[in-house]
Amino acid sequence: MVVKRIRLRKALHARPAALFVRAAIDSGAFVMLGRPGAAPVDARSIVSVLGLDIRAGEEVELSAPEAVLGRLVAVLESP
């Protein structure tokens, strides 16, 4: 598992969250998302990801195997 810290330009509302969760599921890996210093949630659950209520400009921590990390970061960073 690699942990990567990212500042999000967009809020994780239903549609961007759905895109990210879809990518996490499709990666076939165990992926977690959370705020730095707080307990992360299973990134394959859209209900859990929406529960984080991430706003535009916030920093998040993504934990995923190195092989899939780059792809997931790209989805989170896409405008």
Partner 1 sequence: MIIEGPVVWHRPSFIQSEPVPAAEALRRVARECEQRAESAPAEAAEMLRAQAMMARDPVLLDRMEALAAAGQYPFEVADSFGIAHADLRDVIERAMHHCRGMVRAPMPRPGHPHVLVARSLSATDMLELDRGTVRGILTIEGGPTSHAAILARSFGIPFLAGYAEAACLTDGQVVRVEVPSPSLRFPDVPLLANVSTLDDALAAAPVADGIGLLRTEFLYPSLDYRPLVAPFEGRPVVIRVLDLGDRDENPLGVRGLRYLRRHEDMLERQLAAIAALPRPVSVMAPMVATVEDAAWFVTRARGFGIAEVGVMIEVPSAALCAEEILEVADFASIGTNDLTQFTFAASREEAALASYQDASHPAVLRLIETAVTAGKRRGKPVGVCGEAAADPAFAATLVGLGVSSLSLPVTLLPRR
Q: Looking at 3-11, 28-36, 58-66, 68-76, which segment touches partner 1 (CB under 8 A)?
A: 3-11
Q: Would strands 2-7 and 32-34 be described as parallel, antiparallel, or unpaired? A: unpaired
Using CB under 8 A as the binding rule, the residues of this chain from 9 to 48 that contact partner 1 are: 9-10, 14-15, 17-18, 21-22, 42, 45-48
Q: How far apart are CA 42 and CA 30, in angstroms?
A: 8
* Choices 31-39, 50-58, 67-75; region in contact with partner 1 by CB under 8 A: 50-58
32: three-class secondary structure by DSSP: strand
Distance (Å, whole) CA 33 – CA 16: 14
13 catalytically annotated: yes
For residue 63, what are the β-bridge partners?
3, 32
Binding site for partner 1 (CB under 8 A): 7, 9-10, 14-15, 17-18, 21-22, 42, 45-48, 50-51, 53, 56-57, 79
